[in-house]
Amino acid sequence: MIFAVFYLLVIRPQSKKAKQLQHMLAELKKGDDVVTQGGIIGRITGIKDDEVTLQVQEGVRLRILRSAITGPRKQGEKASEKTPEAPKDVKAS
């Protein structure tokens, strides 16, 4: 009984997520915008067996392992341009 609950709550969702990731990695193609495990955002310019070449800036390309890609970059996603607010002065009582 405990094994069944453990399977339904932990093992099954984890294996489902792993299958989705493997499918996404297999479907990568040139021109896709992706995010890596390290947070690097780039466009795929080349794909070999287990290696992907990302263009992160004009003239800057990185070779990474295909397994280091966590997913596609969403089109509406932009880096936050908001600067953090300065701490407010706290008066001592």
- pLDDT at residue 93 is higher than 70: no
Q: Within a 10 A sphere around the Cβ of 37, how many other Cβ atoms?
A: 11
The pLDDT of residue 2: 85
The pLDDT of residue 4: 85
Q: Which domains does the chain have, with CATH numbers?
A: 2-72 (2.30.30)
d(CA 28, CA 23): 9
Q: Pick the closest to residue 65 from 74, 76, 52, 78 (CA basis).
A: 52
Q: What is the pLDDT of residues 35-82, one digit of tens each?
A: 999 999 999 999 998 999 999 999 999 999 999 999 999 876 555 444
3-state secondary structure of 31: coil
The pLDDT of residue 81: 46
d(CA 58, CA 38): 20
